[in-house]
Amino acid sequence: GFTCAAANEMEAERFQELAKVMKKKNVKLEEDQLSCLVKMVTLHGIPKDLDSYPKDLLLFLSSSDYAATGSCRQYFANIGKANLDVLQRESSQRKQLLLEALACLKIPGTQVNEENAEILGRLVCDLGGEYIRSSGGNLLKQLNQCESFLPDQEEAIRSVISSGNTTFGPLVAWSAFTLNELSGLIPVFDHSILQKIPKNALTLWLKNFAHDSPLSREQLATIVEELLPTRHKRADGCPPGKQITETVLNDDLMPIWYTPEELHACLKNVSLENHLSQILTYSFTTQQLAVLKKNLDETYPDGYPERLFPKLGPLVSFITPEDISRWKITSADTLAALLKDQPPDDQASAMIKRYIGLGNALNVTALNAIGMKYVCLLNANELNVIDSNSLKLASLNLSACSQLAKDILYAKAKRAFSDQHYLPAYYGLIEPYLGGAPGADLRDLSKDNVNMKVSTLAKLRTDSLMSLTLSEVQGLLGMNLGDLEKWQNKFPIREWVQRQKQSELDKLHVGLTGGTQEGYMNIVIPKFQPPSSAPLGTVAMTLHLLPALLISFLMMSVLS
């Protein structure tokens, strides 16, 4: 819950104590929170005990800032243990950290040894494919911890694994324990790798280790696909010994025992309802899931009963708008259960419209279900029926919404939080809705030490931002004013900067350029000329004489 607005209320020393407690309690902080934290912690200079602060804080400092605490090797060892994903994958900050780390460790080429790989830690996740190939198996331990990979990294990992020249040996000799050690890399393995791993090793891994792996149900399904016969025989009936019993339904390895055709044949006359929640956690392939959906369609030809909706899980992606039109979605809890698995927008929109069409209210539960991903699918009529008070407990993400939607929701949020307008907490509550705020409200906020992020400033209504003076923007940003330089070439910050006098921008001492020079005036030319009733010749003559007229006007002004 920490915000920059709250930071204003604390003394610098007290604030440093708070930051140290955050480390002890292992508090997870986001980029904006850390950016604010580092500004407050270093307000009176860089502390000499940076190891006492959260490791993620170091992402916003340099190795030279850390010099009073320790060596550059120590600095990058800490960076390697920090949450690098706080910074965007391709950000200049993250690229610079990697370059400095390689320089500090004196790695001139693309080969990284095990000792340096250990120091780099999560920074290994940003090394290109050429480093992964050159380093052989030295990087696999660290790569195993990465959240995602770029295509050239994936290709390099597959190349290293396929070579067999690693401590894990050739693929044909792998065991379930080997797979467990490299479980984070399994999503990168393609068919050519998986087919060489002994099938009994894959089966044992699924049975004993899959529960504790970071892999999703969909990723586990790729292994199941490898274990199923490549040629599926048509099943005239359920094969002997494959009848689906209570024991089979309780076995999470059920997917590897049935081809899609066998599953369809053996599910006849089997009721899935009581086991649906459980079996849909199993790693069924896409074709097997389609069979399960078909079984439900045959069981409930007039539409699924509402009690089934919370159990659909991965089957939601197979649902059509036509299916949804037959459903009775009568409660916000049911809507929330359906949207929990994040169906595609067209399905989500059909579910929301069906829910509203049946006369249900967009209460707090419904709004929280819709909020972070689907609120922008609501039209103006649907937004207007939202009760303002429901916003008090809802979390909405309006970044992709139309300007009309932002305007409607801002007005509602302002009413909802009006009783807290003079409290420090007000800004944190109203911030998600500021994309719809008029200039007058922003001018009021500029007097409240809110420390607005520049990313929030850039998402304001363009007309509202353009109406703000330099001192008002300074008041809004507070301690984040220095970040304005990074955004000055992006819309709409660039347009706002161009409207300011350069001499005034210089007084901020934050490196802003592109303002109006003294003695010049900005003339904004509309993209489309308004139609004129004057004859074309008259218009042409006026344009031709315009420079001379302007010079005459300026000369008269000077002489007078």
Q: What is the pLDDT of residues 197-253, one digit of tens each?
A: 999 999 999 999 998 888 999 999 999 999 998 766 666 789 999 999 999 999 999
| Per-residue pLDDT at 235 | 62
Q: What is the pLDDT of residues 347-363, one digit of tens each?
A: 999 999 999 999 999 99
CATH number assigned to the domain comprising residue 253: 1.20.970.40
| Per-residue pLDDT at 549 | 43
Helix (H) or strand (E) holding 507: none
Is residue 431's pLDDT more than 80? yes
182 shares its domain with 155: no
| Per-residue pLDDT at 36 | 84
142 shares its domain with 94: yes
Give the mean pLDDT of the chain: 88
Whether 428 is in a domain gets the answer no
| Per-residue pLDDT at 550 | 44
| Cα separation, 496 vs 487, whole angstroms | 11
Whether 20 is in a domain gets the answer yes
| Contact present, 35 and 60 (Cβ < 8 Å) | yes
| Cα separation, 327 vs 354, whole angstroms | 8
| Per-residue pLDDT at 520 | 62
Is residue 5's pLDDT more than 70? no
200 shares its domain with 91: no
27 shares its domain with 95: yes
Q: What is the pLDDT of residues 69-97, one digit of tens each?
A: 999 999 999 999 999 999 988 888 999 99
Q: What is the pLDDT of residues 243-286, one digit of tens each?
A: 999 999 999 999 999 999 999 999 988 888 889 999 999 999 99
What's the rounded mean pLDDT across residues 471-484? 93
Instruction: Please tell me the total number of residues recorded for the chain in this structure.
Output: 560
Is residue 424's pLDDT more than 50? yes
- pLDDT band for 532, please (50, 70, 90 cuts): very low
| Per-residue pLDDT at 230 | 73
Is residue 290's pLDDT more than 90? yes
Among residues 295, 312, 336, which one ends one of the domains? 295
- pLDDT band for 341, please (50, 70, 90 cuts): confident
- pLDDT band for 139, please (50, 70, 90 cuts): very high
Q: What is the pLDDT of residues 178-187, one digit of tens each?
A: 999 999 999 9
| Cα separation, 484 vs 479, whole angstroms | 11
- pLDDT band for 530, please (50, 70, 90 cuts): very low
Whether 364 is in a domain gets the answer no
Range in 156-165, 376-385, 418-427, 505-514 with the lowest mean pLDDT? 418-427
Q: What is the pLDDT of residues 33-45, one digit of tens each?
A: 898 888 888 888 8
62 shares its domain with 211: no
Is residue 119's pLDDT more than 80? yes
119 shares its domain with 248: no
Is residue 162's pLDDT more than 70? yes
Six token digits for residue 44:
């009176």
Long-range CB contact pairs, 5-14, < 8 A, 24+:
5/424, 5/427, 5/428, 5/449, 5/450, 5/451, 6/424, 6/428, 7/36, 7/40, 7/451, 7/479, 8/449, 8/451, 8/478, 9/424, 10/40, 12/40, 12/43, 12/44
* Residue reference for tokens 């407990």: 393
More confident residue, 559 or 80: 80
| Per-residue pLDDT at 94 | 92
290 shares its domain with 190: no
Whether 53 is in a domain gets the answer yes
Residue 46 belongs to domain spanning = 4-165
| Contact present, 232 and 260 (Cβ < 8 Å) | yes
Domain count for the chain? 4
| Per-residue pLDDT at 463 | 96
Whether 360 is in a domain gets the answer no
* Residue 516 bridge partners (DSSP): 501
Whether 311 is in a domain gets the answer no
- pLDDT band for 547, please (50, 70, 90 cuts): very low
Is residue 540's pLDDT more than 60? no
Q: What is the pLDDT of residues 303-317, one digit of tens each?
A: 899 999 989 989 988
What's the rounded mean pLDDT across residues 453-474? 95
Number of H helices, E strands in the chain: 33, 0
More confident residue, 184 or 539: 184
253 shares its domain with 160: no
31 shares its domain with 128: yes
Whether 80 is in a domain gets the answer yes
Q: What is the pLDDT of residues 400-414, one digit of tens each?
A: 999 999 999 999 999
Among residues 277, 295, 313, which one ends one of the domains? 295
What's the rounded mean pLDDT across residues 120-148? 95
| Per-residue pLDDT at 3 | 74
28 shares its domain with 102: yes
Exposure string over 514-526, b if 16+ CB within 10 A, otherwise e: ebbeeeeeeeeee
Among residues 138, 165, 192, which one ends one of the domains? 165
Exposure string over 313-336, b if 16+ CB within 10 A, otherwise e: bbbbebbeeebbeebebebbebbb
Three-state DSSP class for residue 102: helix
24 shares its domain with 143: yes
What's the rounded mean pLDDT across residues 310-327? 90
Is residue 509's pLDDT more than 50? yes
14 shares its domain with 160: yes
Is residue 527's pLDDT more than 60? no
Whether 41 is in a domain gets the answer yes
How many other C-beta atoms can be found within 10 angstroms of the C-beta atom of residue 422?
Answer: 7
